[in-house]
Structure 1
């Protein structure tokens, strides 16, 4: 599908931001893409199938934002927090709402739940690996990397809900996650 797939994913993003999950239709996605509704149905039988592909696309994009080859565990955690808390450059602010609407559909759509679970698992793995490396290198206090990762990802999911429902700025949530990591890992500001 190549460029067509990218075009459909971009149109889905725009339509989801503009209309939200409840009012999202294949026609609205087609209107955003400049393609016919029949062309969308050629690639995706249903809106749910298209949204499942969209979630997979988001997971791939998120993975690329998380890519950090640094050996330094602190740098890897910082890259992770940047990817989570800094909005994409083209984010209109509507996407977090649309994503929360999709998350709310996960109990009713196994495919959505599977994609969201994969995203959650990947986030936890990145945090746990960085924490384990930091503990092993003696840079972090001894702790259970899996428990730290589970708590951090739970905080991030809660932060997303707080951003959407309460208007809490992502920077405030990031500050709290970093404070938790500082306390739990024994990280301290290093003076130059």
Structure 2
């Protein structure tokens, strides 16, 4: 949520926490004001509606999962690929603190819930759909770039980088969705095992 004023950032963080607690359908500006510890009228000085606020809040996903990954040169393809996977499934507390001053205590659960709520709303809202599409494309492109660099350097087997990136990305998104919507407590662990096997396979020496 870079580039926002201090008050705007606090409002967005309060909306993030409130959305994780209440869900999109039940979330109100009053709930966000309560989470913020301020009169809800303050929020309307910065955002015209709940949807405008939540749409801008998608920046947190950009800052946590994309910013930096697709901007820096690739130095260690295998290590950086594993880092992207780890950050998507288990957001690093240090990175979270850089992005959010007051994150939820259980950031993994909150992130999964907010992901499901916002992506679910994108079914009905074209503006949200455009933003979620752009965000997903940036993540897939970042993974593709890491794979392509590893292949060019001979550190990865010559797989199709885009197809492999899509495969990894869909697995990771499904893990996030499953963690928030089912009681399959080991789903994330299982996806990590599958992804590790894929990376081990493409990184092995033949």
Is TM-score (shorter-chain normalized) higher than 0.5? yes
Matched ranges for 1:103-182 at <5 A? 103-166=119-182, 167-169=184-186, 170-182=188-200
Compute the TM-score of the two structures, normalised by the length of structure 2: 0.82
In 2, distance between residues paired with 1:38 and 1:74?
Answer: 49
1:95 is displaced (CA, Å) by 3.5
Deviates more, 1:149-158 or 1:54-63: 54-63
- Moved beyond 3 Å, runs of 4+: 64-70, 87-90
In 1, distance between residues paired with 2:69 and 2:52?
Answer: 26
Compute the TM-score of the two structures, normalised by the length of structure 1: 0.87
Higher relative contact order (CA 8 A, sep 6+): 2
In structure 2, list runs of 5 or more residues that go unmatched: 94-104
Larger helix percent: 1
Matched ranges for 1:41-60 at <5 A? 41-60=44-63
Which residue in 2 is equivalent to 1:71?
75
In structure 1, list runs of 5 or more residues that go unmatched: none
Is structure 2 residue 68 aligned with structure 1 residue 86? no
